[in-house]
Amino acid sequence: MDSFSSPSMSSSGSSPNPEALMEQIKAQLAQAYAQELLETVGNKCFAKCVTKPGSSLSGSESSCVSRCVDRYIEATGIVGRALFSHR
């Protein structure tokens, strides 16, 4: 089954179950969001915190990356709550 196939489609080709289709879309959006979040945080925090890439992070680089990720996730949560509170 490819990414466009829906398990809610019957073998006779009738229209998909709207609830199942919505759940599939939600799952795909959540996966895409998670991938984008990891890529963005990784790139931004790495660029900000790691000045001399090597085989391991120094203590200060590690704590910088940790704080950076924490702040990014906190900010994303604040924005998400603000967007969804106006529904």
Domains of the chain as residue ranges with CATH = 21-86 (1.10.287.810)
Asked if the model's pLDDT at residue 32 lies above 70, the reply is yes
> For position 14, what pLDDT does the model report?
64
Residues with Cβ < 8 Å from 64, sequence gap 6 or more? 45, 48, 49
For 33-50, the pLDDT digits (tens) are: 889 888 988 899 999 999
> For position 4, what pLDDT does the model report?
52
pTM: 0.59
Distance separating alpha carbons of residues 49 and 45, to the nearest angstrom: 6
For 61-72, the pLDDT digits (tens) are: 999 999 999 998
Residues with Cβ < 8 Å from 16, sequence gap 6 or more? 6, 8, 9
